Structure 1
């Protein structure tokens, strides 16, 4: 009956050890990390404020998986309608960290941000905000220098891409070059561009070309920026098309390059690169009418260990290499799952490369360990979203680039493969054989996104570029005949007068 008595000390030791291990992996509310611009909503105004939480245990170790319970976030305060009205969204990144994003209606004061875990305040919660907190939809522009200071924005020349793009345009006299610029690019059947003027916080534009619908993206961008900061007086020409316009060589060897702003750059052009309309719209409409953005895409639904070890790709037929990818996938079905969702450029080859398949949710891409970034007409604008995911990104070598490419490093943030796809299978084999290294690259990519491609960074890049650009304009900023005013849209405004204007 007492046969187990000699084993009792051993059993108790095992029980105590198991208990201590379990105790050590409990979330320590005080040691848990909380950071991000959303903790200073009076200073950092974005369409959706956001901050990060990373669970930490009692031994000070960060969790690498989701903790057993969710964090609770409560926004307290007063508003014109009584209690502060807010909308809070929780995004579990699956690595022990989470993103909390929120919006408020109109304005709130006496705001407290409470972050709790299992009833206990986390880190320095509650976070008390002593100034009024305004919705991004309120018209409350700050002095631009102060805005950039609050948002930790680098100056334009401290960003290598901005410095490189502007090095050919030290002094710009639009009065002298406007006629020739329009003669060169006013080609309605092949080129679409808009001339924008920003003067005393008012936005004006005149567009040229047959297809100018994409002006809505720059309209929304300038209006959004103008609600939060006093923009410098400036003018610029924006390319609404895919291909960069200001090509190197040719007549520009003697006439000099024309300054054209574009959403995509290339090795053979002088275009001044802006964040793409896609990532900018997902910033301006965060928690609005867009469902895919740089925050929501970080939601983890498929842990690494259950992902299928295969590369995944879906897209339209906008480049020959995409068709070749379909052929490669048919030869190597164990390595690639690739299909076309639409035929437009190569409709006569649909019988060979079809059938086309239905679209699926972007988050469903991440059931697979490996994601492919293959150029379309220009750079594939999905690239930042892939980097933000918890899958490993393979990027095709390309002469096109977005505003952030220069900060990336191959084999640190992504795995490169040749433009002709000839080494893609070899690269996939390498990733499968080096799974730990692959996970390190995924981690570095997500860290890069957190430090360079969040909504705050997209705003910063625009502000830094426009501020530096405005200093290079030597001709008078004039609203020309025929320009149309882009009306500001806002739901409320600050009761206090705005900060004094930044003189540039």
Structure 2
């Protein structure tokens, strides 16, 4: 086992080891990956291999946790990084396949439904955020803002997977229903954000809080072109909302269309698979 070769005392957490030979899968080892992250990532790798990879033996390790926890070494991949020069280590995340436990049974299907909802006029002229506040203290701040300004911000503290399964008496607002709101905001959790790529399809103005861990495409998003930036501590959130309100409808429509066009061009399952093929081929 690879973890023994690396002299690790215990099996690594959240790790998917894959080796190829003659351009096809030779072996797979999965250690403690959360929910179905390993299965979805493996599916993406298999589809990437179908596009063609080198015939020589290749070994790669995908760390399926929320952020890098080890030194970056060639052949090791993660779902995010914190600086642009490390993008060669970043895989498209498992959600490009599905995240059924969070109400995303199939990425392409969910995106199609979001795009259909995006063509309708929003119903609520407020900002929406819904998520688990236990994953980062900054998420508590959006709840506080919503209590102070309920006419401007609607926010809920919830475990999304439990809401989907009906285990808790809490509101559940699907990603499709996010399009009913004029403004959306993404706030960091334990690590990188898996939903930014889907929110970009909504044609609703997306506010993105500054954070350390970013998906590979995040570095291509431009503030005030694709989204509205917000400081990490959310201290300028109300000012940023006020600023946007003062700019008018054309400003709103221009940014939301830019975000939508970027998502359509770059954030499809097929594009994710192509990126994986390129990363594997470079090993």
Give yes or no for TM over 0.5: yes
Residue 87 of structure 2 corresponds to residue 277 of structure 1 = no
What is the match of residue 42 of structure 1? none
Partner-residue secondary structure (3-state), 2:126: strand
Task: Specify which of 45, 57, 64 is matched with residue 222 of structure 1.
Answer: 45
What is the match of residue 162 of structure 1? none
What is the match of residue 198 of structure 1? 20
- Tell whether the 8 Å contact from 1:193 to 1:240 is kept in structure 2 after alignment: yes
Classify 1:375/1:179 alpha carbon distance in 2 versus 1 (closer, same or farther; 3 Å): closer
Residue 190 of structure 2 corresponds to residue 377 of structure 1 = yes
Shift of 1:205: 3.5
Residue 281 of structure 2 corresponds to residue 457 of structure 1 = no
What is the match of residue 334 of structure 1? 151
Shift of 1:259: 4.2
TM-score, normalization: structure 1? 0.48
- Tell whether the 8 Å contact from 1:312 to 1:370 is kept in structure 2 after alignment: yes
Classify 1:332/1:279 alpha carbon distance in 2 versus 1 (closer, same or farther; 3 Å): same
Partner-residue secondary structure (3-state), 1:295: helix
* Consecutive unaligned residues in structure 2, runs of 5 or more: 100-104, 162-167
- Tell whether the 8 Å contact from 2:108 to 2:269 is kept in structure 1 after alignment: no
TM-score, normalization: structure 2? 0.82
Q: What does residue range 73-88 of structure 1 map to in structure 2 within 5 Å?
A: none
Partner-residue secondary structure (3-state), 2:131: strand
Shift of 1:424: 0.5
What is the match of residue 239 of structure 1? 63
- Counting matched residue pairs gives 266
Partner-residue secondary structure (3-state), 2:92: coil
What is the match of residue 430 of structure 1? 243
CA distance in 2, matches of 1:298, 1:416: 23
How far does the alpha carbon of each residue in 1:222-278 deviate from its partner, in whole angstroms, 9 at most, with x for none? 22233x423324211110212212347xxxxxxxx4642011222499581011110
Task: Specify which of 222, 231, 244 is matched with residue 409 of structure 1.
Answer: 222
Partner-residue secondary structure (3-state), 1:339: strand
Shift of 1:464: 1.9
What is the match of residue 360 of structure 1? 173
Partner-residue secondary structure (3-state), 1:400: coil
CA distance in 2, matches of 1:389, 1:357: 23
What is the match of residue 280 of structure 2? 466
CA distance in 2, matches of 1:403, 1:367: 28
Q: Which has the higher strand share?
A: 1
Residue 77 of structure 2 corresponds to residue 261 of structure 1 = yes
CA distance in 2, matches of 1:455, 1:206: 22
- Tell whether the 8 Å contact from 2:193 to 2:215 is kept in structure 1 after alignment: no
CA distance in 1, matches of 2:33, 2:91: 20
- Tell whether the 8 Å contact from 1:279 to 1:293 is kept in structure 2 after alignment: no
- Tell whether the 8 Å contact from 1:244 to 1:264 is kept in structure 2 after alignment: yes
Task: Specify which of 167, 183, 205 is matched with residue 7 of structure 2.
Answer: 183
- Tell whether the 8 Å contact from 2:16 to 2:61 is kept in structure 1 after alignment: yes
CA distance in 2, matches of 1:404, 1:359: 28
What is the match of residue 111 of structure 2? 294
**Greater radius of gyration (CA):** 1
What is the match of residue 137 of structure 2? 320
Shift of 1:292: 4.7
CA distance in 1, matches of 2:234, 2:169: 21
